[in-house]
Amino acid sequence: MDMFWGAIMVVLGGVAGSFASAAIYRIPHDGLSLIRPLRSFCPACRHFVRWHDNLPILGWILLRGKCRDCKAPIGVSYIGHELTLALAFWVAGF
């Protein structure tokens, strides 16, 4: 696998990890759906996450693990899911 396809696999894995984190949070909570609200939001203050803060892995790092609006901590599990699936997709690409 060349560098281009390796990077594509890492990005796709990060996106899959981001979706997995959303599903893990939303499914057990009554009234929350995977499609409504369509956008990601902070569970503490309910503000929608800006598109540039929602980039897998990079967004969590740039925000230093805190909500931009209320400064509530964003669980390390979010970046953990993204990194784990990014690595899994990269390995699967071989």
Whether 91 has a pLDDT exceeding 80, the answer reads yes
Q: Does residue 64 lie within any of the structural domains?
A: yes
Q: What Cα–Cα distance (Å) separates residue 92 from each residue in 25, 45, 86, 88, 89? A: 26, 37, 10, 6, 5
Q: Does residue 32 lie within any of the structural domains?
A: no
Q: How many domains does the chain have?
A: 1
| pTM of the full structure | 0.86
Q: Does residue 78 lie within any of the structural domains?
A: yes
Q: List all residues 6 or more positions away from 4 whose beta carbon is below 8 Å from its beta carbon.
A: none
Q: Does residue 54 lie within any of the structural domains?
A: yes
pLDDT tens-digit series, residues 4-24: 999 999 999 999 999 999 899
Whether 1 has a pLDDT exceeding 90, the answer reads no
Instruction: State which amino acid sits at residue 82.
Output: E
Q: Does residue 35 lie within any of the structural domains?
A: no
CA angle 34/27/75 to nearest 5° reads: 95
Q: Which domain does 22 fall in, by range?
A: 3-26+40-92
